[in-house]
Structure 1
C-alpha cells in the first residue's frame, strides 16, 4: 500500500522563495497525513513558463538556491519522497537546459528524468530553451510499488500523431505499478475532457494506472485550471481535484486501485465539466485575480460606455476584485445617447461599484479646433471618431496613473479580429478580460450572469439594444460589420479553424459553406478574411487578453504584419 499526496498549487513564475514556501507547506501536510510521496507540477520550482528568464544567469542561480532550500527541507522529512519539476543544467551540444523531473529524499536527488517531448505549437515554445531528454523510462521504487515518471507532453503522444517517439512505449516495457505524470496544462474550453480522454486511453491500452498532477492559476494570458486526476485501465477517471483552486489531496494506492486516504472509495468523477458560460466566468475571474495580484494591483478601472462589452467587463471585474475595488468612468461626448449614460448608472448601481462622470465634448472640440488651425482642413470622418476614443483612452490612463488602478480594456474577439477598435483609444489598458470571447458569447455570458444571480446584474436595456460605438450620429456596428451571428461563424473558421471543438467546427464550416454558395456570401467571407489579415498591426500593440478558447490572439497565433494577403 502506498500513500501519496498530489500538490496542485498556484505558483508564481520566478518567485522561487514563495514557490518553495508553498511546496514545503504542502509537504508538511503530506507528512502529517502519512504520505510516502508528494507530487508537484511541471517546473514547480520556477512556475510554468519562465520564458527567456531561463537565459539569465541570475535567474538560474536563484533556481539553484531554491532547489537547495527544497533539499534542506526534505532533510527534516526523511521518509518522504518529493517529485519536483525544475530546469536543470546539462552539458554537450544543444540547449543548455533540460525540463526535468527530480525526486528528492532526505536531502538527496535520488532520481532525475528529462522531458523528452518539447512542444513548439500554439502557445508553447519549449524547444527554444530546453534540449529533449533521452528515450528512456525512469522508475522509482517505494516499498513494494514501482512508479514510472513522465513530464506533461511525454504522455500526450500515445497515439503517435505528433512525434516519432512515444515515451509510453518505454514506460510499458518498464512495467511499473503506477505512472505519475507532472504537468502544466493551460486551460481552454474542452481541455479538461481532452486530458482525461487521452490519459484514460493510454491507461487502458497499457494497463497502467496514472496520476496526473497539474498546476493552477493565471499567468499573463494563460490560466491553469488544476483539475488534477487519477485514471485506472478499466474504470477511467476515478478521482479529480478541484478546478480553479489550489488542492492538496492525499490518496491511497493499493493493488492497482486509487482510494481515499482512509481507504474508502473515492467519489465518482462526473463525465461533464463546467457548462461553457460557467467555464468562461471561472477562467476569466481567476485570470484577473492572479494577473492583478502578481502585478501589484488591488483595484481596476473600466470605461463604461453603456454598451454590453464594458458592462460584462465591469461585472467580471467586480466579481474578481470586489465591487469596492472597481471604478467605472462614463465619458459622454456630443454623440452619446442619454440612454447610454442612464444604462451605465443602472449597471453600476446593480453591481455596487462607483461610477464617475468625465464629459469629453469640450476636449474633443478643443482638439478638433486646434487641428484645423494648425493643418487647415477640419477634422472629420474616421479621424474625428477615433479622436473621441483616444480622448477617452487618455482619461482612463490619467486615472490609472493618478490612483494606481489597473485599466481593463473591453474589446471582444469579434472586434479585435477585424480591427473594429481604435489604437491608443479603446485598446488602452493592461489586460483584456473578454478579448477571447466572440460578440455572440459576450451576450450569452451576460445572460448567464443574470440567470445565476437571479436578478439583473446587467440591465436588459444594455443586452437588448443594438451595439454601437456611438462615435457618429446614429452609428451602429452593423454599418461597418456583418451581423455578429454571421461574422462570428466566419471568424471561427478563419481564426481558429481545426482547433475548434469538432461539433463547433462542423457547425461553423457548414455555415461558411452555405455563405460561399452565393457570390454575395463569397464576397463577405473574403472581406472578413482581409479585415483579419490587415489588422494584425493593431493586435500586436493591444494588451494581453485572457485565453479561454483553443486559439487566442497573442502568443497562440503568430502572424506577420508586413505581408501580402491577396
Structure 2
C-alpha cells in the first residue's frame, strides 16, 4: 500500500468555448505532473468548456464536442498520471456538471454534481440535472472524494464520501470573486474537514469571464482545518502537493502559503484582470475612453493602463463651453501621469449644429435635460466613431452609484463595451484613487507613484452639462446616497430599514424611485467587473416595467 500520494494542482485560466485550447492547457499541466512524478493531475470545475458557460453548454453540438475533446485528451494522456478535469456529461438523456477522471486512455470514473447553485450568477438548476450522491473513485489503492464546487458547501456530499471510504477530498471549483469571499470559502472548507476528519483540497480556477473574475486562491487543509498550503490569488500556477499516509490517515505535507492581499488591492486587481481578460478573450488589444477631468474616468484610465499598458490606451477630452479650465488641466495631467495617448476634441461646433437642426421642433420650449443630454450623446457618438475607426474598444466610466439611480445618459456616456467600475460605489472610487496613488504591484503595467492628482479626487463631482452644475444638485451627497443604496440594493432592505439607519424617509423614497425607473438603462448597459454579491446584471434581476414601491 502506497504511503505517499502526489497531486498536481493546476490553477489555470480557461476560455469559454475554446475546447481545443483548454484541452491543450490541461495536457500541459498533465505533462508537468508527469515530470514531477504525480499520481493525479487535477483541474477545476468545467475546465474543458470554460466557466461560466450559461446556456451555451445546453447546445447539444457544443456539449458533445466537449465530451469528445475529453475523450481525445484521455488518449493523449494515457501514459502517466491520472487526469481529473471538469466538463459536461450526458447520461440517460440528461446533462450533468461532471468531474471526469481520465486514466489508461479512457474516462475511468466520473462524479456528477449533486447540489446545483441557483442564485447570484448561477442558473445551474435550469441547465443541469442533479447527480446522485456517490462514492469515491480510486487512483491506485487511494480513494478520493470529489464534491464539485457547491457540493463542498453542503455537508451531505462530503459525509457520504467519507462514509463510503474517501481518504481525502479534492474539491474542484469555478468560484468567482466577490469582496471577502475567501473567508466564506475557508469557513465552509474548515467545516468539511472537521466533519469528515479528512484533508480537504480546494482547487479553484482563475481568469475573467464577462463580468465574473475567478480568483484562484487554491488551498489545502489538514483534518481539523489547519492550513497546509495556500496558492496565490489571481495568478495561474501549477503546484505539486504531497500527501503522506499516517496511522491517523492521510495528511497533506505543508507547502508554500502565499500572502493574500487586502480587499482594496483585491478589488483593484479584479478590475485590472477582468478588463485584461475581457480584451484578450474578445479579441481586442486597445481601448479608448472619454477623460473628463473627474474621478471616475481617471480611475478607469488608471485601470486600463495597468491592464493593457499605456501604449494601448487612448484618452479623449471632449470639452463643451461648460467644461472648466480646471477639468481641462486635470484631465491632461492624468493622461500625462499615466503616459497614455491624449486627444483634445471640442464638441461645441457639433453641439451647435445639432441644436440648430432641432430648433424648429423645439421652438418655444425651454432648454433643459434634453439639451444637456445632447452633449453626452454627442460625446458618445464621437467616441464610438473613433472606436470604429481605430479598432479600439470604448470603455464606459459610470460608477455603481450613478448606475443605480440612472445618473447617466443612455446612448451617451453609457455607450461602450466594458465598464471596470460598474460595481464600485462613488465613495469607494475616491478611496481607490488614493490607494492606487500610493501602491504599485508587479502585475500593474502602469507607472509607480501618484497618477491621479489630488485635485481630481477632492473637487466636488460634476457632469458639467450646464453652468455651475454639481452632482449634489440632483442627488444626495455621495456618502448618504451610497449608504442608502447599500441598504436598498446590496442588502435588499426596505425604506423602513433606511429610516431605522437614520436616513430621511423622503430621501430614501426618492432614491428607491430612481433605482426602479432606471432599470431600462441598466438592461442596456455594458458589462463590468463584479466586486460584490449584488452587482447589476445576473446578481440582481428586476422587471423594467414595474409600478411597485415600498409602502413602509
1:193 aligns with 2:190: no
1:20 aligns with 2:3: no
Cα separation, 2, equivalents of 1:452 and 1:485: 24
Give aligned pairs, total.
535
2:226 counterpart residue number: 236
Cα separation, 2, equivalents of 1:565 and 1:206: 48
Task: Deviation per CA, 1:110-168: give whole Å up to 9, x if none.
Answer: 1111100111111100111110001222x12234422112111011123xxxxxxx212
1:544 aligns with 2:527: yes
1:557 counterpart residue number: 540
Residue aligned with 1:424, SS: coil
1:212 aligns with 2:202: yes
Cα separation, 1, equivalents of 2:229 and 2:265: 21
Cα separation, 1, equivalents of 2:59 and 2:131: 22
Task: Deviation per CA, 1:83-108: give whole Å up to 9, x if none.
Answer: 1111011225xxx3011111110211
Task: Deviation per CA, 1:327-386: give whole Å up to 9, x if none.
Answer: 000000011001101111111110001110110011111111110124534571100111
1:492 aligns with 2:475: no
Residue aligned with 2:491, SS: helix
**Would you say the 8 A contact 2:169–2:198 is kept in 1?**
yes
**Would you say the 8 A contact 2:48–2:87 is kept in 1?**
yes
Task: Deviation per CA, 1:167-226: give whole Å up to 9, x if none.
Answer: 122123113211111110001111111111110111012211111111100000000001
Cα separation, 2, equivalents of 1:218 and 1:465: 33
1:248 aligns with 2:238: yes
Q: 1:248 to 1:512 in 2, by over 3 A?
A: farther
**Would you say the 8 A contact 1:489–1:512 is kept in 2?**
no
1:90 counterpart residue number: 91
Shift of 1:235: 4.4
1:522 counterpart residue number: 505
Q: Which one is further off, 63-72 or 17-26?
A: 63-72
Residue aligned with 2:24, SS: helix
2:265 counterpart residue number: 278
State the Cα RMSD in Å.
1.8
**Would you say the 8 A contact 2:232–2:258 is kept in 1?**
no
1:223 to 213, 226, 249: 213
1:303 aligns with 2:304: no
The unaligned stretches of length 5 or more in structure 2 are 441-447
Shift of 1:512: 5.3
Cα separation, 2, equivalents of 1:269 and 1:14: 31
1:145 counterpart residue number: 142
**Would you say the 8 A contact 1:372–1:378 is kept in 2?**
no
1:359 counterpart residue number: 346
Residue aligned with 2:154, SS: coil
2:468 counterpart residue number: 474
Shift of 1:240: 1.2
Q: Which one is further off, 275-284 or 313-322?
A: 275-284
2:400 counterpart residue number: 413
Cα separation, 2, equivalents of 1:509 and 1:250: 53
**Would you say the 8 A contact 1:82–1:104 is kept in 2?**
yes
Residue aligned with 2:370, SS: helix
1:110 to 96, 108, 111: 108
